[in-house]
Amino acid sequence: MCRMLGIKNFEYQKHKDIIQKFFLLAEKGKVPPNNKKGHLDGWGVGWYENCKPKIYKSENSMTQEKEKFFNLIEKINKTKILIIHLRKSAWKNTNLAKHSHPFKDDTTKIIFAHNGTIYEYKNLWKFIVEKKAYWLDSETYFWCFINNFKKTKNIKLAFLKTIKEIKSTCKFSSLTCIFSEGKNLYCFREYKKLSNYYTLYLTEKNNTKIISSEKIIETLNWRLINKTKLVII
């Protein structure tokens, strides 16, 4: 249960208002019914430098580390792809930086962030060559995807194969995600419940495409991504 933001061809001076508005979702973003307000269980940023994937992750609330977050975004300044994630954990006592999103793989250069819960995620470990005991559902989703990509060498086919494996093996609330290989920005929306929470919206600002879990600037023309639709930007 999270909030996500993806920006293609990010430039700090052009998009800092988007960043400022997204920051507010840490405390004020939509939450599922009967849940406490806030996505405060960690945060992370993914970007690319010289075509290499970079991530910064924290186990703390972004509201507690506001200065650190904005200093990081300003330092990044420009990047072909920027992905930001605010975590609201479905798993107790897991507020650790290693569980914060996004995740990255240096070999494939993929950066990945997920919004949702996969309940029997350990059933997916049979599809993964190397696995780690501390993984939760989102890490398992990511590494299952990476494993398929290394086999197929085709990012779209690998992702759709991963979705098929999850659907045949696990119950889940949502498989909604944003990811990139450094060139394109991909987003996918799939859910079993709470269609008003597991959302992704697409808009354009200053000739840049933006994906967000919520319409963070109402004056922009946002389009809701259809269910089961993999959008490639």
152-205: per-residue pLDDT in tens?
999 999 999 999 999 999 999 999 999 999 999 999 999 999 999 999 999 998
Q: For the chain, how are helix, strand and coil distributed in percent, rounded to 5?
A: 30, 30, 40
The mean pLDDT of the chain is: 95
* Structural domains present in the chain: 2-232 (3.60.20.10)
Task: Look up residue 166 and give its two tokens.
Answer: 């999850």
Confidence at residue 188, expressed as pLDDT on a 0 to 100 scale? 98
pLDDT, tens digit (0-9, with 9 covering 90-100), for 35-92: 889 999 999 999 999 999 999 999 999 999 999 999 999 999 999 999 999 999 988 8
- Give the per-residue pLDDT at 74: 98
Task: Decide: helix, strand or coil at residue 118.
Answer: strand
Q: What is the pLDDT of residue 223?
A: 97
Helices (H), 66-207: 66-76, 137-152, 155-169
Per-residue model confidence (pLDDT) at position 231? 97
Is the pLDDT reported for residue 8 higher than 90?
yes
Q: Judge whether residue 136 has pLDDT over 80.
A: yes
- CA 220/CA 146 separation, integer angstroms: 34
pLDDT at 3: 97
What's the pLDDT at 36? Answer: 87
Local confidence band at 15 (pLDDT 50, 70, 90 cut-offs) = very high
Predicted local confidence at residue 212, as pLDDT: 98
